[in-house]
Amino acid sequence: MATTLAETATNADQAFDFDLFVIGAGSGGVRASRVAAALGARVAVAEEHRIGGTCVIRGCVPKKLLVYGSHFAEELQDASNYGWTVEGMSFDWPTLRDAVLADVTRIEKAYTATLDSHKVEHFHEKASIAGPNEVMLASGRSITAKVILVATGAWPVKPVFEGSEHCITSNEVFHLETFPRRVVIQGAGYIALEFAGIFNALGAHVTVTNRSDAILRTYDESLRDRLLQITMARGIEYKFNCPIEKVVKREDGAFDVHFPGKDPIIADVILIATGRHPNVGGLGLDGVGIALGERGEIPVDAENRTSCPSIYAVGDVTDRVQLTPIAIREGQAFADRVFGKGHATLNYDFIPSAVFSQPPLAAVGYTEGKAREKFGSIKVYSSDFRPMKNVFGHRPERGLYKMIVDAETDKVVGLHMIGPESPEILQAAAIAVKAGLTKADFDATVALHPSMSEELVLMR
C-alpha cells in the first residue's frame, strides 16, 4: 500500500529546508501548496506579484465582476417593460473599478490566510532555480527543497510595432483611471471578445482588430458567426486581416492607431489581447537542463514531472490548457501523488469552456468540423431560438444551441451554446457529455419549462 510523505520522511529529507518549494502562488501553486501541507509536507511558496495569480488578481474574477457590472445597461433598459421607473440613471467607472479591486484584495487575503492556516511559508519576491533541489530568492537567500514545483503561469505578449508602449494588456485594463470613449482591441480571442463586450455595454465605441479573418478560432463556426452578428448589431466594429502597424500619441492625449493600407482610427485606450505565453523569464531552467518546448513552455510528462526528476510544473507555464480549473486540478493531483497516496493523472478530454462575451458562449467536446474529422459520420442537431427575455425586451437576438452526435454510437460528443447564461447551463450539461450519455438519454429527459436549457432535451 502507498504511504504518505509524513510516513516515509527520512533523515535525508530533513536535510532540506523544505519538502516542497513552489514558485508562483496562483491557482495551481496555491492548491498544490495547501494540499501538500495538509498531507504533512513542509512547504514554502514564492510569489513576486500578489497571492492569487492571474485568475484572482487580473483575470477571471475581476473580469466576471466587470461583466456583471456592464449587464446593468441591458437590465436597466429592460426595467421599464416590467413597470419599473429608473430615474437619473448614470454610470461611474471609478466606483465599479474600485469595488472590483477591493474584492480582489479580499480574495487575495483569503488565499493568504489559507496558506497561513496550513503553515505554508510565503516569500514575496521572485525565486529562481539554482539547482535540482535549490531555489534562490531575489534577496539572495538560498533555500533547499526535496521537490520544486514551477507554477508561474503565463504573461500577456504584445506584438512588436512602433508605439506599442502606449498600449495596455489585461494586466492594466482593470486599473484605468478614466473610462475610455474609444477603445481599440487587438486580437479576437477570449480576452478581446470579453472586454469588447464590457466596454461596449458600458458605452464605449469598440473596434476589434485581428491579424486573421476569424474570432475565437477554436469554437464552433456557427456560434462564432452568431456572436459576430450580434456584437456587430450592438455596435462593435471589426477589422479583419488587419494587424496594428503603429500607434502615435496625439497632442490631446489620445492615440492614432495605424493599419497597413487603411485609414488610422483614434483611440483613448488600446488593449492588446494576442495571447499569453508561459512565464519562464529568469527562472534558471537552463541551469538544471530543462529545455523549453516550441511555444516556450516547460515540457512535462503525464505526472507533471519535468526532465529534471525533482522539478515539476503545473498550469499555464506548461501551456497544455490555459484554464484556471486545469491548473487547480494539476496542482491537486501533483500534491496527492507526490505527498499523499494518490495515483491519478488528469484526463484532458471534454473540458468545458466559456467566453464571457455578450452574449456569452460555452462549449464542451468536438466542434462540428473536428467531429467530422474524428468520427466520420455524425449527426448535428440545433435549436435556434429567441429567449423569452429578449422577446419581452424587444431585442431580436437569438440563442443557438448545437449538439454533435457520433452517428455510430449515438453518444453526444459536442455541445455548443450561445445565449444568456450559456456557461451556467453548459457546466451541468458537460457532465452528461463527459459521462458518455447518448442523444436518446437527452431525449428521455423531461424538459424543465420554461427555461432556455430545455432546448437541450428538445432538439429533434
Q: Count CB neighbours of 110 within 10 A.
A: 12
In the complex with ligand NDP, the residue whose CB is nearer, 356 or 442, is: 356
Beta-carbon-side half-sphere exposure of residue 35 (alpha carbons within 13 Å): 21
Supply the minimum distance, in Å, between the C-beta of residue 369 and ligand NDP.
Answer: 15
Q: Which residue is nearest to ligand NDP (CB)?
A: 189
Maximum Cα–Cα distance for the chain, whole Å? 74
Torsion, CA 189, CA 194, CA 200, CA 206, rounded to 10: -20
CB of 175 closer than 8 Å to CB of 101: yes
Distance CA 440, CA 436 (A): 12
Beta-carbon-side half-sphere exposure of residue 174 (alpha carbons within 13 Å): 24
Give φ, ψ of 425 to 5 degrees: -75, -40
Q: Which stretch binds ligand NDP (CB under 6 A): 103-111, 210-218, 298-306, 367-375?
A: 210-218
Supply the minimum distance, in Å, between the C-beta of residue 337 and ligand NDP.
Answer: 25
Q: Which stretch binds ligand NDP (CB under 6 A): 8-16, 103-111, 189-197, 440-448?
A: 189-197
In the complex with ligand NDP, the residue whose CB is nearer, 274 or 279, is: 274
Which contiguous run of DSSP H or E holds residue 417? strand 412-418
CB of 186 closer than 8 Å to CB of 159: yes
Distance CA 181, CA 271 (A): 13
Q: Which stretch binds ligand NDP (CB under 6 A): 21-29, 268-276, 300-308, 377-385?
A: 268-276
Supply the minimum distance, in Å, between the C-beta of residue 225 and ligand NDP.
Answer: 15
What sign does the dihedral 65-69-70-75 (CA atoms) show?
Answer: positive
Q: Which member of 122, 146, 226, 276 binds ligand NDP (CB under 6 A)?
A: 276
Which of 216, 12, 43, 21 lies closest to 118 in space, CA to CA?
43
Q: Which member of 27, 33, 207, 274 binds ligand NDP (CB under 6 A)?
A: 274
Which of 292, 308, 27, 291 lies closest to 148 in space, CA to CA?
308
Distance CA 73, CA 84 (A): 14
DSSP 296: S
Supply the minimum distance, in Å, between the C-beta of residue 241 and ligand NDP.
Answer: 10
Binding mask of the shown chain, residues 157 to 176, with x at each position contacting ligand NDP by CB under 6 A: --x-----------------
Q: Which stretch binds ligand NDP (CB under 6 A): 172-180, 274-282, 381-389, 436-444?
A: 274-282
CB of 364 closer than 8 Å to CB of 401: no
Supply the minimum distance, in Å, between the C-beta of residue 359 and ligand NDP.
Answer: 14
217 binds ligand NDP (CB under 6 A): yes
Distance CA 327, CA 55 (A): 10
In the complex with ligand NDP, the residue whose CB is nearer, 188 or 413, is: 188
CB of 217 closer than 8 Å to CB of 189: yes
Q: Which member of 214, 265, 407, 458 binds ligand NDP (CB under 6 A)?
A: 214
Strand pairing report for 361-365 and 378-385: unpaired
Number of residues that bind ligand NDP (CB under 6 A): 24
Distance CA 360, CA 399 (A): 10
In the complex with ligand NDP, the residue whose CB is nearer, 213 or 301, is: 213
Supply the minimum distance, in Å, between the C-beta of residue 274 and ligand NDP.
Answer: 4
Supply the minimum distance, in Å, between the C-beta of residue 109 and ligand NDP.
Answer: 24
192 binds ligand NDP (CB under 6 A): yes
CB of 30 closer than 8 Å to CB of 115: yes
CB of 48 closer than 8 Å to CB of 174: no
Work out the angle at residue 370's Cα, subtended by the Cα atoms of residues 368 and 375, and round it to the nearest 5 degrees: 90
In the complex with ligand NDP, the residue whose CB is nearer, 53 or 189, is: 189
In the complex with ligand NDP, the residue whose CB is nearer, 358 or 383, is: 358
In the complex with ligand NDP, the residue whose CB is nearer, 348 or 392, is: 348
In the complex with ligand NDP, the residue whose CB is nearer, 36 or 242, is: 242
Of residues 315 through 354, those in contact with ligand NDP by CB under 6 A are 322-323, 353-354
The question of whether 71 is a catalytic residue gets the answer no
Q: Which residues make beta-bridge pairs with 414?
A: 365, 404
In the complex with ligand NDP, the residue whose CB is nearer, 63 or 146, is: 63
Supply the minimum distance, in Å, between the C-beta of residue 130 and ligand NDP.
Answer: 30
Supply the minimum distance, in Å, between the C-beta of residue 97 and ligand NDP.
Answer: 19
Of residues 223 through 262, those in contact with ligand NDP by CB under 6 A are 243
Helix orientation angle between 221-233 and 190-201, rounded to the nearest 10 degrees: 30
Q: Which stretch binds ligand NDP (CB under 6 A): 102-110, 137-145, 209-217, 413-421?
A: 209-217
Query: Residue numbers of the site for ligand NDP (CB under 6 A)?
Result: 159, 187-192, 194, 210-212, 214, 217, 243, 273-276, 322-323, 353-356
Which residues participate in catalysis according to the annotation? Answer: 449
